[in-house]
Chain A
Amino acid sequence: MRESQTIKEFLDRNLITVQKPGRYVGGEFNQIVKKWDSVSCHVALVFPDIYDIGFPNLGISILYDIINKHDDALAERVFAPWMDMEKLLRENEVPLFTLENKKPLNQFDLIGFSIPYETLYTNVLNMLQLADLPIWASERLASDPIIIAGGHATFNPEPMHAFFDAFVVGEGEEVIDEIINVIKHDKEKGYKREQIIDHLAMIDGIYIPGYFDVEYNSDKTIRSYINKEQPNKHSITKRFSKKLPTPPQYPLVPNINVVHDRIVVEIMRGCSRGCRFCQAGMIMRPIRERCIDEIILSMRNIVINTGISEISLLSLSSSDYTDIKELIDKVMELSDEFNLAFSLPSLRIESFNSDLMDSLEGKRKGNFTIAPEAGSDMLRSVINKPIPNSSVLETVQNICEKGWNNIKLYFMIGFPNESMQDIEGIVTLCKKVNDIGKKSNKGRFKLHLSINTFIPKPHTPFEWVGLGKKEQIIEKTNYLRENLKNSRIQVDFSDFNSSYLESVLSRGDRKLSKVIYSAWENGAKFDAWKECSNFENWDKAFSSNSIDPDFYTHRSRETTEIFPWDHINIGVDKEFLIKEFDLSKNMQTSIDCRHECLVCGIQTNFQINCSKIKSVGVEE
């Protein structure tokens, strides 16, 4: 086994030959390096993409902060090496190591992967191999670390079930202390790996795939899930923090250029709008707001502790924050005091009024993003994002007058019940927006369109819907391209193959583990990267495993079908999703549940009061 010293020597010699060597050295301001032998519980936090992309990941930074607060535990970070570094690691037989103590991953007690999106799956396998760890959970030995995963993608854990010993369902910060305590305790007692996993299984929100048996019907759909070890536990209910935990006050400051290099303070979690295509809106319920005082105090502390002057507020829908006006005023004061650049993403035009625009007066005007999602008022009723075209245009008029020159519009194509008229609607709307912008801001106005393929996601009211057929999507894409050609509007389309892959992986069952493995063996990795994605690797993997991927994507399902993710309980009832699905078919909308509870199940399942939790987080 190579030790840290050998790894350091390897780095001294070879780093100079790779792109951006700063990715592999750590040493950032506020980094925590504990003496290895001074703690009993060693956790590696892994983000399966390169440093530049993984560094800003909020989940990792929150867990890093919490774990390192334990006197008796440490957390260290690992990111995927880029191809040049991977080659060197393999050639020199150096195992994947952490940034802090340069320890090989197999020396840790616990390895936690953060997986926000499905196209990272092959990187997980690649990293396990680079770490010299058995890729299949079933092949791990007593001396191997326990390997777990969490993050949005794992709300359907099944495609990756064969590679992890356990999954965390829900918010990691709520569960991590319990996990650490089990590991510390069990290690001290000398328990074996199997026993530790059994103890982890007793923590709410921990899903052990090995405990469950799946039976299939002859048409390949699922007949049943059976928990062999805990017969009374039919499903795993997600965990969430009733009160948002205080943001890390000493986040790390990168030594090299990374994406989103700024301070991010989460102001609100969850969203009450209930857009029917939005998975985050369903799985992140209920809404929890952070109070203004805590936001401002944290921002001030973080600015002082990091020296970073770019700051951004995070939430699914910033302008829905209850006291957004007051918050922005206070943030602006802070900006003036410290000379900060402040950005406020995720504004909803329903709640972004001219009052708010005035508050943002005087700050540098960057992009203004509006997401109408669909091209017609009717289709927007189907997806429950009832913004009329007229208010899109009115908002554009207003913001152009206030001096914004760059507008970005987001649309999706391939929604259920979508017709060519809806696609024509996108063109008409965009042209109108462009006209308004040009009229008020002359030559400086720029319109940017981003058009993605709609992917029906698990745990949403559209989970029964099939992915749009390739021919249809391409026809619609061509139509848009043709009709927006001469308008000087910049248009980006998502690549159909990537959407297709994301769709398979997000909706897949246990049979996909083998496919993912084969695809990786065929060479698939960095599937999220345009320059690396290669659908052939996947095509071969599906056929060599005799799996028809269309089964997971294009098929529309009966509402009685048991889905691979049905034993993962997000607290929102299936009946609610079905009701919303039925409403969508009749083009009926549902209101924002801040105003009136729609009985989605969150309150009853978790025995909470949504409106109280939202502001105070405590429950009497």
Chain B
Amino acid sequence: MRVRISYQKRLQIRYTSTLDLQSIWERSMRRASIKVEYSKGFHPQPRIQLGVPLPLGCIGLDEKVDIWLKGSLSIEEISRKLQGKLPEGLEINTIEEIMPTEKPLSSIIQFSEYEVYLLNEETPIKDIQNRITKVLNQKEIIRTKRNGKKYDLKPLILSITLKDDNEERPSILIKLLSQSNRTGRADEVMFALGFSITDFLVERIGSFT
């Protein structure tokens, strides 16, 4: 059976990369004594498929992973078995059984929504609003990827809005394309807005089709 687990990724484990998260799930399932199916071939791998990769350091509120299980278990049983078997910071929201033929998450997800918290309070709200307007009015935003290639961030941005409900600190809501070959990064948007890497904390609210 194939299950889709929605989970949160916060605390220390947000510093675990997507690659390492694969083995975290594999080991968690083994601790829970839930048998996972393996791929065929010379180097059989457990069939665990993570959704859209979450950049290192980001909090995720509704991350997804698909896992193929041997035999069939009730959802209640899976969730009971997993209790206390996940490392600190991973928390399950929901588990659902899905069709084995369903397309992988990475191929159906279109966009993701982020909430970015500002760690400094110095920047005046008005100023932030101005910066957002300016960026949204720009024709293109040329940025450089880690591999040195230049790309235009602008078409990847769906929206940027300031959330200021007078509670605590203001935050910025960002909606970005999240397709396999066209993915925007929230931190890049923040850089375009003139913030530096130590100024903010990114939280992904969810990814949508």
Q: Give residues in A with beta carbon < 8 Å to B.
A: 12-17, 21-22, 25-29, 31, 253, 255-257, 303-309, 338-339
Alpha-carbon separation in the docked complex, A338 to B38 (Å): 13
Given contacts A15-B15, A21-B15, A22-B16, contact A307 B56 (CB under 8 A): no
A304 touching B33, Cβ below 8 Å: yes
Sampled A-B contacts (30; CB under 8 Å): A12-B201, A13-B119, A14-B198, A15-B15, A15-B57, A16-B56, A21-B15, A22-B12, A22-B16, A26-B12, A27-B87, A28-B87, A29-B27, A29-B28, A29-B87, A29-B88, A31-B88, A255-B20, A256-B17, A256-B20, A257-B20, A303-B30, A306-B27, A306-B31, A307-B27, A307-B28, A307-B85, A308-B30, A309-B27, A338-B30
Considering the complex of A and B, which 3 residue pairs feature the smallest CB-CB distances, nearest first?
A27-B12, A307-B27, A307-B30
Alpha-carbon separation in the docked complex, A305 to B88 (Å): 15
Q: From A16, which residue of chain B is reached at the shortest CB distance? A: B57
Alpha-carbon separation in the docked complex, A237 to B15 (Å): 45
**Chain B 28-49 interface 0/1 with A at a Cβ cutoff of 8 Å (1 = within):** 1111010000100000000000
A/B pair count, beta carbons within 8 Å: 74
Alpha-carbon separation in the docked complex, A15 to B89 (Å): 17
**Chain B 9-20 interface 0/1 with A at a Cβ cutoff of 8 Å (1 = within):** 001110111011
Alpha-carbon separation in the docked complex, A255 to B13 (Å): 7
Interface size on B, residues (CB 8 A): 28
Alpha-carbon separation in the docked complex, A339 to B13 (Å): 26
A16 touching B198, Cβ below 8 Å: yes
Give residues of chain B (113-132) contacting chain A, Cβ–Cβ below 8 Å: 119
B26 in the interface (beta carbon within 8 A): yes
List residues of chain B with CB within 8 A of the CB of A308: 27, 30
Alpha-carbon separation in the docked complex, A28 to B31 (Å): 14
A17 touching B201, Cβ below 8 Å: no
A25 touching B119, Cβ below 8 Å: no
List residues of chain A with CB within 8 A of the CB of B11: 27
A255 touching B16, Cβ below 8 Å: yes
CB distance from B11 to the nearest CB of A (A): 6
B197 in the interface (beta carbon within 8 A): yes
Q: Which of B15, B19, B29 has most chain A Cβ within 10 Å?
A: B15
List residues of chain A with CB within 8 A of the CB of B136: none
B141 in the interface (beta carbon within 8 A): no
Q: From A257, which residue of chain B is reached at the shortest CB distance? A: B20
CB distance from A264 to the nearest CB of B (A): 16
B24 in the interface (beta carbon within 8 A): yes
CB distance from B26 to the nearest CB of A (A): 7
Q: From A13, which residue of chain B is reached at the shortest CB distance? A: B198
CB distance from A103 to the nearest CB of B (A): 16
B27 touching A256, Cβ below 8 Å: no
Given A256-B20, A303-B30, A308-B30, 8 more pairs with CB closer than 8 A: A14-B198, A16-B56, A22-B17, A27-B11, A29-B27, A255-B20, A255-B87, A257-B20
List residues of chain A with CB within 8 A of the CB of B31: 29, 304-307
**Chain B 171-204 interface 0/1 with A at a Cβ cutoff of 8 Å (1 = within):** 0000000000000000000000000011001000
Given contacts A12-B119, A16-B56, A16-B198, contact A25 B12 (CB under 8 A): yes
A21 touching B57, Cβ below 8 Å: yes
CB distance from A115 to the nearest CB of B (A): 27
Alpha-carbon separation in the docked complex, A123 to B27 (Å): 33
Q: From A10, which residue of chain B is reached at the shortest CB distance? A: B198
Q: From B201, which residue of chain A is reached at the shortest CB distance? A: A12
CB distance from B87 to the nearest CB of A (A): 4
A27 touching B13, Cβ below 8 Å: yes
B56 touching A21, Cβ below 8 Å: yes
List residues of chain A with CB within 8 A of the CB of B24: 255
List residues of chain B with CB within 8 A of the CB of A306: 27, 31
B27 touching A255, Cβ below 8 Å: no
List residues of chain A with CB within 8 A of the CB of B12: 22, 25-27, 255
List residues of chain B with CB within 8 A of the CB of A303: 30
Q: From A99, which residue of chain B is reached at the shortest CB distance? A: B12
Q: From A254, which residue of chain B is reached at the shortest CB distance? A: B20
Alpha-carbon separation in the docked complex, A305 to B31 (Å): 6
List residues of chain B with CB within 8 A of the CB of A28: 87
Q: From A14, which residue of chain B is reached at the shortest CB distance? A: B198
Given contacts A22-B12, A255-B24, contact A27 B89 (CB under 8 A): yes
Given contacts A307-B26, A307-B31, contact A17 B16 (CB under 8 A): no
CB distance from B2 to the nearest CB of A (A): 19
A17 touching B197, Cβ below 8 Å: yes
Partner of A253, one of B27, B56, B197: B27
Alpha-carbon separation in the docked complex, A12 to B57 (Å): 9
Give residues of chain B (86-144) contacting chain A, Cβ–Cβ below 8 Å: 86-89, 119
Q: From B202, which residue of chain A is reached at the shortest CB distance? A: A16
Q: From A340, which residue of chain B is reached at the shortest CB distance? A: B30
Q: From A256, which residue of chain B is reached at the shortest CB distance? A: B20
Q: From A88, which residue of chain B is reached at the shortest CB distance? A: B198
CB distance from A198 to the nearest CB of B (A): 40
Given contacts A22-B12, A29-B87, contact A309 B20 (CB under 8 A): no
Alpha-carbon separation in the docked complex, A16 to B201 (Å): 9
Q: Which of B12, B20, B86 has most chain A Cβ within 10 Å?
A: B12
List residues of chain A with CB within 8 A of the CB of B197: 16-17
Alpha-carbon separation in the docked complex, A25 to B14 (Å): 10
Q: From B42, which residue of chain A is reached at the shortest CB distance? A: A364
Alpha-carbon separation in the docked complex, A31 to B56 (Å): 22
Q: From A33, which residue of chain B is reached at the shortest CB distance? A: B88
B15 touching A25, Cβ below 8 Å: yes
Partner of B15, one of A255, A257, A307: A255
CB distance from B197 to the nearest CB of A (A): 6
List residues of chain A with CB within 8 A of the CB of B86: 29
Q: From B21, which residue of chain A is reached at the shortest CB distance? A: A255
CB distance from A38 to the nearest CB of B (A): 19
Alpha-carbon separation in the docked complex, A31 to B33 (Å): 20
List residues of chain B with CB within 8 A of the CB of A309: 26-27, 30
List residues of chain B with CB within 8 A of the CB of A338: 30
Alpha-carbon separation in the docked complex, A155 to B200 (Å): 49
Alpha-carbon separation in the docked complex, A616 to B52 (Å): 54
Alpha-carbon separation in the docked complex, A13 to B15 (Å): 13
Alpha-carbon separation in the docked complex, A253 to B13 (Å): 12
List residues of chain B with CB within 8 A of the CB of A17: 197-198
